[in-house]
């Protein structure tokens, strides 16, 4: 698992350990399903979001799978416990005009601007996650076939097409990058000092350009990823293809994460449903 997931799981299990101390439970085998339900209820009372409670349950289930495998307990008390249902909010996105304004108005007149334009073009072209873009190396971009090789969540790899304008922006950036003389650095996006550009710096740079171009909604990597998914789905109607491009293991994640063009759905319905077809 990623370092971020491990850190969150550790935090969740530390909270469970604290709860067990309060309940005078001294071994993992003493914990029953009722205790896990009490623990989840306590997290809910503390105001923890439903998605975070689901993650905590996942951490506990994973722990008990390990304990059972090691012969340290016999049952998984978290297996039948369900987290509170969470509201499925549609993530906010940028429309096509806003994306074109953001990208076209970012002039490539300095080294920083060239790098940032290339990053934003790649985010929007290929729907990358922030961590995926930050970890890219030079060798991960195939300019001949216009592809990018990405390692995503759970160390799962996928290959994604890169659009023409993103390829052009990357070429311009690499020319500027060579002028810096950091030929030993493998990272695709680097700082002026030659180090790999970190995730926090990438977030700050996107926010900077959003404010500079007067976009009222905050611009951040996740919003560009969502714009990619929304615009691809609206134009193609192919949910399965968008799922593959985003690297989602479950298509239900893609359904929540993207806008569905109702007009397209209506056309599919009229064309496909036996009782909807016109004679």
Q: Which of 61, 158, 222, 264 is catalytic?
A: 222
Residue 129 is among the residues annotated as catalytic for this protein: yes
Q: Which of 55, 115, 117, 129 is catalytic?
A: 129
Residue 248 is among the residues annotated as catalytic for this protein: yes
Return all residues near 242 (Cβ < 8 A) that are at least 6 apart.
Answer: 229, 232, 233, 236, 254, 258
Residue 259 is among the residues annotated as catalytic for this protein: no
Closest CA to 77 of 119, 19, 135, 122: 19
Size of the chain, expressed as the number of residues it contains? 279
Beta sheet of 157-161, edge-to-edge order: 141-142, 147-151, 157-161
What is the C-alpha separation between 88 and 49, in angstroms, rounded? 12
CB atoms within 10 A of CB 257: 21
Q: Which of 35, 177, 225, 231 is catalytic?
A: 225
Residue 222 is among the residues annotated as catalytic for this protein: yes
Q: Are 124 and 103 in contact (CB under 8 A)?
A: yes
What is the C-alpha separation between 5 and 59, in angstroms, rounded? 9
Quote the DSSP letter at residue 90. Answer: P
**Backbone phi and psi for residue 151, each to the nearest 5 degrees, phi listed first:** -110, 115
Q: Which of 9, 64, 124, 257 is catalytic?
A: 257
Q: Are 161 and 141 in contact (CB under 8 A)?
A: no
3 state SS of 142:
strand
Residue 149 is among the residues annotated as catalytic for this protein: no
DSSP per position, 40-106: HHHHHHTT--HHHHHHHHHHHHHHHHHHHHTTS-S--TTTT--PPP---PPPP---HHHHHHHHHTS
Q: Which of 37, 44, 61, 153 is catalytic?
A: 153
Closest CA to 210 of 195, 199, 198, 220: 220
Q: Are 277 and 270 in contact (CB under 8 A)?
A: yes
Q: Which residues are catalytic?
A: 129, 153, 222, 225, 248, 257
């Amino acid at each position: 698992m990623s370092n971020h997931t491990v850190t969150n799981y550790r935090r969740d299990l530390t909270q469970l350990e604290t709860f067990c101390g309060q309940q005078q439970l001294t071994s993992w085998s003493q914990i029953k399903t009722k205790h896990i339900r009490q623990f989840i209820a306590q997290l809910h009372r503390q105001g923890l979001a439903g998605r975070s409670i689901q993650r905590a349950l996942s951490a506990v289930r994973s722990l008990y799978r390990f304990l059972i495998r090691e012969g340290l307990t016999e049952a998984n008390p978290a297996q039948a416990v369900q987290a509170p249902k969470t509201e499925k909010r549609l993530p906010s996105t940028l429309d096509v005009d806003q994306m074109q304004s953001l990208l076209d108005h970012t002039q490539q007149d300095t080294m920083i601007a060239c790098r940032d334009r290339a990053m934003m073009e790649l985010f929007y072209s290929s729907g990358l996650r922030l961590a995926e873009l930050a970890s890219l190396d030079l060798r991960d971009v195939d300019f001949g076939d216009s592809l990018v090789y990405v390692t995503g969540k759970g160390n799962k790899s996928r290959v994604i097409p890169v659009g023409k304008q993103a390829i052009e922006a990357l070429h311009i950036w690499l020319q500027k990058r060579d002028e810096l003389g950091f030929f030993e650095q493998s990272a695709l996006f680097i700082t002026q000092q030659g180090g790999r550009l970190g995730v926090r710096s990438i977030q700050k740079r996107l926010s900077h350009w959003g404010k500079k171009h007067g976009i009222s909604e905050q611009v951040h990597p996740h919003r560009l990823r969502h714009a990619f998914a929304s615009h691809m789905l609206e134009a193609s109607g192919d949910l399965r293809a968008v799922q593959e491009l985003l690297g989602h293991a479950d298509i239900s994640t893609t359904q929540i994460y993207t806008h569905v063009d109702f007009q397209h759905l209506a056309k599919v319905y009229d064309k496909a449903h036996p009782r909807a077809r016109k004679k």
